[in-house]
Structure formats: C-alpha cells, structure tokens
Amino acid sequence: MTARESPRPARRTRLVIDTDPGVDDAAAILLALASPELEVAALTTVAGNAALSQTTSNALRVLELAGAGAVPVAAGADRALAGWRRPGHGSVHGPDGLGGALPGEPAGSPVARHAVELIAGLADEGPLTLVAIAPLTNVALALAMHPDVCGKLERLVVMGGARLEGNVSAAAEFNIWADPEAAARVLGSGVPLTLLPLDVTHQALLTAGELHELSGGGRIGERLGAMVRHYGSEHAASYGDGAFAPLHDVLAVLALVDPGTIELEKAVVEVDTGSSASRGATLVSTRPGSPGVPALVGTRLDRRRFAELLVGRVGEIDAALAAGGREQAGVPAAAGTAAAADA
C-alpha cells in the first residue's frame, strides 16, 4: 500500500514541528510527511545543530526533497534565552547539519513571519500538537509572548533530556543543555507533556540491512540513507561504534503515529538551570511526592516496529513521487496558503 493509498484516520493530528535539521530531524520530518495519521501544518526552525540560517535552509530542502515544498517554514530564535551557547552541535550532523547529503540552495523561502507568531496563529486556528525536536527557545518564547497558547495546545511532545548519561555533558542532553531556561519554562507550562529522553532514543537504531533497504527505496530513501551513514560515522568518534546512529527525533513523531511502539511511564521532571557541571540536566522521578512537573516519559522502544515504519513510509513517499503524485499523506490540502499570505 502506498502513502497515497493509505486509509486516512477519522481525525488526523494537526501538528507543527519545531526543529533544527539535523539528520534525525530530517528523518522525523519525512516520517511525519509520510503519515496519514498526521497533518503537518508548518515547520518552525531554531538554531541548534547548525546556525539558524542553515537549519532554516535545511528544513526547506528536506520538504522539497519529499515534494512538500508547500508546507510553510518560519524561522525563529538564533540564540538561547539567556547566556552563551556554542553554535552548532559538534560535527555529528556535519558542518551543514545534513551530512552534505542535500547540497545546493532550496527553491523556496521561509514565510515572512517569526516562528513564534506562526505557532500562535496556528494554535488559534484549531487543535494543534507541538512536536519539539530542538532547543526549546522558540516554544518558550511563543508561550511567554502568547500565554493563551498554553491552553490551546493539545499536547507537547519533546525529544530531550536524559535520565542517565547525557550526550553533551555527563548530565545533559543537547536540546535541554542548549537552552535550559527555555526548557524549564516549556516543561513547566502545564501543556500535557510527553518527554522522550536519550534513554529511549538511544534505542532508535537501524541495522545495516534496514539502512540498505531504506537507501534502495528511491531518491528520498537514498538521500536519507546517506545522511544516516554520515551521522553514524561521526558518532563513531564519540561512541566507538560505527553502527550507532540513534535517530532520536523520529520518536517524537512515532509517539503520535503509532503510540504502542514506545512505552511511557508517568513521572515528574525538573530541569537544572543552575551553573554547576549538571546545568541542563533533566531530573526524572517516579517517586510519589517528588518535586517537578508531570510528564509521560519514554522508557522503551519496539525497535523493529520503529524501523519498519520509518523505512516503509519513506519508501511510500518515494513510490508516490515516482508515480507522479504530489500530495503527501501528512501534508494539509491547503498547505502553502499561509505561506503565500505571509510572504
């Protein structure tokens, strides 16, 4: 069954993805576009895996790769709320954030509207889920400048944090470490929260065979496969295992597409916004009475199902494009209207 033939569920989840592409961001965006359960209303971009101009260009190029250039992209914050932040995230995503797999300039441009305003506008228009797979600066600004958005968001799904070891410091994961003040505000906003920390996202691995299958599915799979291979080789420097290329951000989309794939646990979460070595850490507790904000926290992944869905659905977009189809499963019919109006 192709993406175009997939039955549409009674009610598709309308979402905005706040992102800093990023190889795993690209994979998450492609899965969202390929999923009939979802309607991707917009992408908003933030500095993170690369500088803001680069992550915005990357978001546009990933959409265009999938034939979804009509989905609006709005650029947001180019730095953290407070304090200094190292630009980029080392080199695991390569200097351009996408492992050099999508060279050239995008055909389209971001809308002439700040990410914060686009998020607030979309929340006004109807039920909206916010999928945050990057430093949380845009989301914190949106909730601060438009406090009514908190009550309008159905759900916040965040890739971030670590119960055990971090990936930037011993304690902190990148998306939280990059802007801990923003993370503390967002997690404490009162919007129903699902948090996917490294403990579960480190399980989001493709085998060599699955990566081969992804790459053989068509132009989109081949480009995504090239990104993942580059990402894996860069991880080898940190983790000493070339096969280790966790596609963290995919889980934030997967949690909406196929909730049974990820085990979630009720917990409370706090962000360390201090200045010690554990700045940016997420403290997760299931002990009754512990301080923190309630969240559903990811613990285990059905890895095989994750791989089947990602590889299968990216292959479906490829098949739809090869057949001359332009409409993507997760793209709203009227996508581009907002972009045209704002430009």
Q: Is 179 in the site for Ca ion (CB under 5 A)?
A: no
Would you give the end-to-end CA distance of the chain in angstroms?
Answer: 37
177, interface contact from Ca ion, ligand BDR, none, CB < 5-8 Å by kind: none
Applying CB under 6 A, does 175 fall inside the site for ligand BDR? yes
Contacting ligand BDR within 209-228 (CB under 6 A):
none
> According to the binding rule CB under 6 A, does residue 248 interact with ligand BDR?
yes
Can residue 159 be called a binding residue for ligand BDR (CB under 6 A)? yes
Per-residue x/- marks for Ca ion, 4-43, CB under 5 A?
----------------x-x--x------------------
Query: Judged by CB under 5 A, does residue 134 bind Ca ion?
Result: yes
* Closer residue to ligand BDR, CB minimum distance, 57 or 175: 175
Active site residue 114: no
DSSP-assigned letters across all residues of 131-193? EE-S-SHHHHHHHHH-THHHHHEEEEEEE---SS--SSSSSB-HHHHT-HHHHHHHHTS-S-E
Phi and psi of 37, rounded to 5°? -75, -15
Q: Are 85 and 79 in contact (CB under 8 A)?
A: yes
The distance of closest approach from Cβ of residue 113 to Ca ion in the complex, given in angstroms and rounded to an integer, is 22
Query: Can residue 280 be called a binding residue for Ca ion (CB under 5 A)?
Result: no
Segment interacting with ligand BDR (CB under 6 A) among 5-13, 20-28, 317-325, 331-339: 20-28
Q: Does 133 bind ligand BDR (CB under 6 A)?
A: yes
Strands 128-132 and 13-19, how do they pair?
parallel
Q: How far apart are CA 257 and CA 13, in angstroms?
A: 9
268 contacts 290 by C-beta, under 8 angstroms: yes
Residue among 118 and 198 whose Cβ is closer to ligand BDR: 198
> CB of 280 within 8 A of CB of 187?
no
The only residue of 18, 37, 39, 173 in contact with ligand BDR, by rule CB under 6 A: 173
Alpha-carbon distance of 109 to 117, in angstroms, equals: 17
Q: Which does 319 bind (CB under 5 to 8 A by kind): ligand BDR, Ca ion, none?
A: none
In three-state secondary structure terms, 72 is: coil
Distances (CA, A) of 95 to 73, 88, 231: 21, 8, 11
Among 3, 15, 22, 131, binds ligand BDR (CB under 6 A): 22
Give the dihedral sign, CA 92/33/65/243. positive
Pairing of strands 153-159, 193-196: parallel
Q: Which of 133, 156, 220, 295 binds Ca ion (CB under 5 A)?
A: 133
Which among 93, 114, 230, 248 is annotated as catalytic? Answer: 248
Cα 107 from Cα 68, distance rounded (Å): 12
User: Which residues of the chain form contacts with Ca ion (CB under 5 A)?
Assistant: 20, 22, 25, 133-134, 249
User: Which residues of the chain form contacts with ligand BDR (CB under 6 A)?
Assistant: 22, 24-25, 49, 89, 133-134, 159, 167, 173-175, 248-249
Annotated active-site positions, please? 248
